[in-house]
Amino acid sequence: MTPNQDLQKDMPVTDTAIALDGLAPFLKESKPAIQNTSLPTAINRALMTDISFAREIAEAAGVNLAEHAGIVNEARTDAARGTLFGASYCMLDGRYRSMDEALAKLAPEGVLELAAGHSPRGIATAGTYSLYVETDLADLVAQKREIVEALKPDRDPSQHIIRPLNALHGSDLIAAGALFEEKNISNIALTHEGLFFYLTRDEQKVMRDNVAAFLKQFSPNGAWVSPDFVYDARLDEETTVMRATYERSAGRPWTTFSTDDEIREFMRDGGLKVEFLGNDHLVGMLESARRSGATNPDHVLRWLRECRVAVVRLVGP
């Protein structure tokens, strides 16, 4: 089968599976998928971190952050109890910081962000790249485009593109790849945060093969960059309950990996190799730890190691 044929493989998937921007599908399943997934994470990001544009995006999405101030108090109560769960916001903060560092290290010319949701990375860093394409399902893309236009009315829409894309539809990736090809950009980082573990293993294989084919066609020396391949969230009794709650809310079980070797084997089966970037040095640097009162560095470190970034590349000839 050729790379193009690989890339054309499509698999039906629910909106909830793809319209994901992180860890917090708090609201009931009967609510729209956009609310179920992306917006609660935007609220947490705004209240618990100092990530650029986090507050502005939440407010532009219509959130009154004052109504959610109890999140901070609850976080501090959890941290004061001394549980591992009390440092859980460090995962949300840490994975974003880890991705920032990974992209700075790789220095791609272009970025294709999958399941961008309400992530601020595009609006905060698009000008760093020759082309930044952020994507998600159509309804969420429409809202994100309005937010970005409100906050960045002077942005160059030919350099920062916001468009629909389903990562399990190979034709969507082909269309996105053509945008980079038109600009002669071949050093591309394909990124996502909080997507992969919501897919079944079969769906993960489809997405892996689609990404591998994308790299072969558009960016042979590029990389698939994500913290999603290691997170398990069953670190103790409380986090096991937390994971079960998120699964019920999203209507999707999490499919995670247990060991580095399992991840490597999964990637090898798709003609890919993986390198893990450590993030231990972020202990003591996270605003989320300060706001939540998570003073135990071992707890912060444990969450950071659950969101270290994997850099996945094609296996050479």
Amino acid at 67: E
Helices within 20-112 (DSSP H only): 33-48, 54-60, 70-80, 89-106
Question: Is 3-314 assigned to CATH 1.10.3720.10?
Answer: no
d(CA 27, CA 190): 29
Ordered by start, the domain boundaries in the chain are 3-314
Residue 230: predicted pLDDT? 67
Residue 181: predicted pLDDT? 98
Does residue 189 sit in helix, strand or coil?
Answer: strand
Residue 243: predicted pLDDT? 74
DSSP annotation of 259: S
Does residue 224 sit in helix, strand or coil?
Answer: strand
d(CA 30, CA 250): 10
Residue 35: predicted pLDDT? 36
For residue range 203-260, list pLDDT tens digits in order. 999 999 999 999 999 999 999 999 998 656 556 677 777 777 767 766 777 888 888 9
pTM over 0.85: yes
Q: Which residue has the tokens 């791609």?
A: 108
Residue 53: predicted pLDDT? 97
Q: Which residue has the tokens 């992969």?
A: 196
- Positions of the chain with pLDDT under 70: 1-37, 230-236, 246, 249-250, 317
Does residue 27 sit in helix, strand or coil?
Answer: coil
Under the phi-then-psi rule, with left for phi > 0, alpha for psi from -120 to 50, and beta for the rest, what region is 127? alpha
Task: Indicate the burial class of 255 (C-beta count within 10 angstroms; 0-12, 13-18, 19 or more).
Answer: middle
Q: Are 165 and 114 in contact (CB under 8 A)?
A: yes
d(CA 146, CA 231): 32
d(CA 282, CA 286): 7
Q: Which residue has the tokens 């989320």?
A: 288
